[in-house]
Structure 1
Amino acid sequence: MVNSRDTASLEDALKAKARELGFAAVGIAPAADDPVRAERLHEWLDAGHHGDMAWMQNRADVRQGPQSMWPAARSVIALGMSYAPEVDPLAEGEAKISVYAQGRDYHDVVKKALKALARWLVEQRPETELKVFVDTAPVMEKPLGEAAGIGWQGKHTNLVSHEHGSWLFLGAIYTTLELSADAPHGDRCGSCRACQDACPTNAFPRPYRLDARRCISYLTIEHKGPIPEEFREAMGNRIYGCDDCLAVCPWNKFADIAARHAKLAPREDLVDPDLGKLLALDDAAFRAKFSGSPIKRVGRNRFVRNCLIAAGNSGDAALVPRVRALLGDDDPVVAEAAEWALARLTTSP
């Protein structure tokens, strides 16, 4: 049992426990709202760069800082769980699924560990109140991670760690405990612009600013309608998310696969999936295949739409029967994508 009067010992024990539970990075930040972070959020929203993600606009007043959400919060425990890939995310393949979605749903894995850490903390300090978050609440995990010293928000807007590169799932615990904050992490991007240059759709109007409306991750996951034609060819074979801006980051050379949580190992069938088989999925087969996967939340129609764009870009005539079978799909977005893909596959260059 940690001595309740020894805050430093509590913090050391907290970080040790977090690592025992599978977190590769842990730091502490003040819970006070930061006006600079709030201003950047509102500037991004005012520019419309959130696209159709209305939930970001609707709860912006709460999202802008920990105490805006929960005035009783005094400290934020920021945590990162590694999902470092074994193979190069930029390697050629028939279809590409973002590294983060190749294994189990990270929400479940991270939240389970967060709750275990929260229970441990309550055992040490029964007087504390706390809340746990992992990407399902109006919490700005990336700037909070930077404030807690576990990394910095790179020019691609994601958190970068000098130990784990770009491959961290983030979670946070808000607590009423007054904990000593770690030093914020300084920006180490320097003059590098690899992530900016790698983006297939030019989704960065400037460094540290992402226009989600042009981002392949947004288009393949959040966007519900037809993929805008100006982005279809640039999507290439990406059927769920995009890792290009993350994968080219030089800091990834320090990422250690040994730090990856055991439950986040990729499924072999999702590392280099068979595009033809994915095009044949009906709703029941889709749900069965992606049970326990973050991919399940987009639904069969959106996913098959993405696969049709990849088919149209593949130049593989063997996919024509699969594509043709979707011309009469009940979902008009799928049917339109099939028409586009078929035209691409049957029109001579």
Structure 2
Amino acid sequence: MPSLSVFALRTLLEREAHNLGFSAVRVSRPTLQTAHKHLATWLAAGYQGSMAWLEQDPELRTDPSRLWPGTTCILTVSLPYLGEDLTSCTEALNDPTQGVIAQYALGQDYHRRMRRRLHLLAERMEAQWGPFSWRPFSDSAPLLEVEIAAQGGLGWRGKHTLLLQRQGSYFFLGELLCNLPLPSDPPEEDHCGTCQTCLTVCPTRAIVAPYQLDARLCIAYLTIEHPGPIPELLRPFLGNRIYGCDDCQLHCPWNRFANTARGAREFLRRKELENLSLPALFAWSAEDFLTRLAGSPIRRIGHERWLRNVAVALGNGPATPAALAALARQRNHPAELVREHVEWAWQRLQNGNSPVPVPVGVESVILLRDTDS
């Protein structure tokens, strides 16, 4: 029988979560009554693009207890990953000869590391409370993580659709589905107010309205999730972003108070990504890609999509001898996906197109929303 009171159990939870490097922990319930309708509306609009798996078994996504039978309680945690000053992020975007990678992907892949921390959290809880049923998750199952976290007061959903805390949004989310007898926490108030910064700074206007993201326009989707050609109309707006996009976070006022990666050095920039010269990155062979990015989340897109993304960035940069030589070497690449983007970039540099994109127009956004990209 457990020897701790519920109050003592909560104190234990917060202490052990802090010791493991989590910046916050909250308790939620596996009931997401309003999420099903919101998910259905989002899917009906086609905002998921080619992410067909989001359409599968929506009832499972809105009922976490089906993932782990017996779940009565969800412990949801945040783990900071920001390892650099935000000024350096802005400087990288302003250097078109360098590739820009989303902050979360500069270090080691977080999935297993987050689940390992949650595993340790459960074991430490069991050591003092006694055995209970539990299973850890982190972006590894059909869970509506932001919905769960917001319901339990870990933060609030920002207008960019990410979870926000008073310490910003540069953190990973993780969940421990369990049956601990802990009371749930109340939701956090929305503190975005009248701010519209994330909508206006998005290079492709993917945040089509507050709390609504059209993934088909999102640079993170286009460079990571989308398997095919990047729509030509959008390519100039990617700039030098080659894996993901942080713009909506970079300019969010709350990220002035962002937590750094305390106790999580594995998320700091790895040495293989210290020099992001686009011509050099474009010269990586498939073996280079796999070897240099071992343990990195970037590996999931594969070498061909990596070359696709870097080719677009080269086409958006200056027509230097190094850039032209890099593209010339890949014009006969065996993959059609790569050849198409190399040719686009080659012609763009040959024609002297401006490497600096301007904000996409309203007419273009409307056109793209009506196009299955």
TM-score range (shorter-chain normalised) is over 0.9
Q: TM-score, normalising length from structure 2?
A: 0.89
What is the rounded CA distance, in whole Å, between the counterparts of 1:193 and 1:260 in structure 2? 33
Matched with 1:30 is 29
Please identify, of 270-279 and 127-136, the stretch whose mean Cα deviation from structure 2 is larger.
Answer: 270-279
Match of 1:147 among 111, 134, 151: 151
What does the per-residue CA deviation read over 1:6-55, in whole Å, with 9 as the maximum and x for residues that have no partner? 01111111111011011111111122x22112211121112111111111
**How many pairs were matched up?**
346
Instruction: In structure 1, give the amino acid aligned to 2:346.
Output: L
The answer on 1:121 being equivalent to 2:130 is no
What is the rounded CA distance, in whole Å, between the counterparts of 1:269 and 1:291 in structure 2? 10
Matched with 2:328 is 324
What is the rounded CA distance, in whole Å, between the counterparts of 2:16 and 2:141 in structure 1? 24
Contact 2:315-2:349 within 8 A present in 1 as well? yes
What is the rounded CA distance, in whole Å, between the counterparts of 1:48 and 1:59 in structure 2? 16
What does the per-residue CA deviation read over 1:46-65, in whole Å, with 9 as the maximum and x for residues that have no partner? 21111111111113221113
Contact 2:25-2:78 within 8 A present in 1 as well? yes
Contact 1:130-1:174 within 8 A present in 2 as well? yes
SS at match of 2:221: helix
% identity of equivalent residues = 37
What is the rounded CA distance, in whole Å, between the counterparts of 2:44 and 2:63 in structure 1? 18
Matched with 2:285 is 282
What is the rounded CA distance, in whole Å, between the counterparts of 1:241 and 1:58 in structure 2? 24
Match of 1:265 among 268, 281, 284: 268
The answer on 1:18 being equivalent to 2:17 is yes
Matched with 1:73 is 71
What is the rounded CA distance, in whole Å, between the counterparts of 1:66 and 1:263 in structure 2? 29
The answer on 1:221 being equivalent to 2:224 is yes
Q: 1:191 to 1:108 in 2, by over 3 A?
A: same
Give, in angstroms, the shift of residue 5 of structure 1: 4.4
Give, in angstroms, the shift of residue 317 of structure 1: 2.2
The answer on 1:209 being equivalent to 2:222 is no
Match of 1:45 among 38, 43, 46: 43
SS at match of 2:182: coil
SS at match of 2:25: strand
* Unmatched segments (≥5 aa) in structure 1: none
What does the per-residue CA deviation read over 1:94-144, in whole Å, with 9 as the maximum and x for residues that have no partner? 110000001111113212111111222233344411111010100111111
Matched with 1:105 is 109
Give, in angstroms, the shift of residue 87 of structure 1: 2.4
Matched with 1:59 is 57
Matched with 2:163 is 159
Instruction: In structure 1, give the amino acid aligned to 2:7.
Output: A
Q: TM-score, normalising length from structure 1?
A: 0.95
Matched with 2:90 is 90
Contact 1:97-1:271 within 8 A present in 2 as well? no
Q: 1:139 to 1:248 in 2, by over 3 A?
A: same
Contact 1:96-1:271 within 8 A present in 2 as well? no
Spell out the pairing of 1:305-324 with structure 2 (5 A cutoff).
305-318=308-321, 319-324=323-328
What is the rounded CA distance, in whole Å, between the counterparts of 1:247 and 1:178 in structure 2? 38
Instruction: In structure 2, give the amino acid aligned to 1:110.
Output: M
What is the rounded CA distance, in whole Å, between the counterparts of 1:151 and 1:85 in structure 2? 21
SS at match of 1:259: coil
Contact 1:166-1:247 within 8 A present in 2 as well? no
